[in-house]
């Protein structure tokens, strides 16, 4: 029965369509404007069929976040692969993180926003949310000559990196902050500063 395959392919397709429609709406009108009926409008169905593909609206948000983490991880890995020295890798990766945030503002908000309306709470239980950590701490450990990737010192250094970059991103996403050029300079200074501070 090849028709079964076709039908499965179609179902998978509308599943993708739902996610794409959701992201499109969010990009055009923001998270607060996303509604099931609007998604249904875009994919030319009525709202209840969405529940054949996702258990709830929150499940859609969660899946979008998941894909966001995958996309970010892919970019981080590509950035890492450009260099061999851990110091260069770290600089390239955090610049890549910065670029991801602004190229995917809405996604970034969902992934790392202090959600206010707390769109999807279980994002912390998403396994993909741990991927960036894995990719980056590898270079930190190598740079510091530490093997145990879960050691407190690596953890601390990771959070030091993350907080400064995420903080800078947040401020810019909040429409605060200076011109992009100045902020890039602050970012570069901070990153190289931290790298130097942990270079043996």
- Alpha helix segments (H runs only) across the chain: 2-29, 36-42, 57-81, 86-103, 105-112, 131-144, 152-173, 180-198
* 118 near its own copies, rule: CB under 8 A: yes
Query: Please, which residue, 40 or 155, has the CB nearer to DNA?
Result: 40
Q: How far is the CB of 52 from DNA (least distance, A)?
A: 6
Contact of 113 with 125, CB cutoff 8 Å: no
38, 30 in Cβ contact below 8 A? no
User: What is the per-residue burial (b if ≥16 Cβ within 10 Å, else e) of 8-17?
Assistant: eeeeeebeeb
Q: How far is the CB of 22 from DNA (least distance, A)?
A: 10
173 forms part of the interface with its own copies (CB under 8 A) = yes
Q: Does 78 bind DNA (CB under 7 A)?
A: no
Task: Give whichever of 43 and 87 is closer to DNA, judged by the CB atom.
Answer: 43
57, 36 in Cβ contact below 8 A? yes
Shortest gap between Cβ of 29 and its own copies (angstroms)?
10
CB 167 to DNA: min, Å: 31
56 interacts with DNA by CB under 7 A: yes
**Does 124 contact its own copies by CB under 8 A?**
yes
**Which one among 16, 27, 47, 167 touches DNA, defined by CB under 7 A?**
47
Residue 43 or 171: the one with the smaller Cβ distance to its own copies is: 171
Residues 6 or more apart in contact with residue 191 via CB below 8 angstroms: 90, 91, 94, 95, 161, 164, 165
- Residues at the site binding DNA, with contacts judged by CB under 7 A: 1, 3, 7, 11, 34-38, 45-49, 51-52, 56-58
């Amino acid at each position: 029965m090849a028709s079964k395959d076709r039908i499965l392919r179609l179902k998978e397709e509308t599943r993708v369509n739902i996610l794409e429609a959701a992201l499109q709406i969010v990009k055009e009108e923001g998270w607060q404007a996303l509604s099931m009926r609007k998604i249904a409008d875009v994919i030319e169905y009525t709202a209840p069929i969405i529940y054949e593909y996702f258990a709830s609206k929150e499940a859609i948000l969660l899946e979008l976040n998941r894909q966001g983490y995958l996309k970010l991880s892919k970019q981080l890995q590509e950035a890492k692969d450009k260099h061999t020295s851990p110091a260069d890798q770290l600089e390239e990766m955090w610049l890549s993180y910065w670029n991801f945030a602004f190229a995917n503002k809405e996604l970034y908000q969902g992934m790392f926003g202090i959600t206010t309306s707390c769109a999807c709470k279980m994002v912390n239980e998403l396994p993909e949310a741990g991927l960036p950590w894995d990719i980056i701490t590898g270079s930190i450990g190598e740079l510091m000559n530490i093997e145990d990737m879960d050691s407190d010192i690596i953890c601390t250094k990771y959070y030091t990196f993350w907080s400064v970059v995420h903080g800078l991103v947040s401020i810019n996403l909040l429409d605060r902050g200076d011109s992009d050029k100045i902020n890039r300079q602050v970012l570069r200074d901070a990153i190289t500063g931290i790298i130097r501070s942990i270079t043996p």
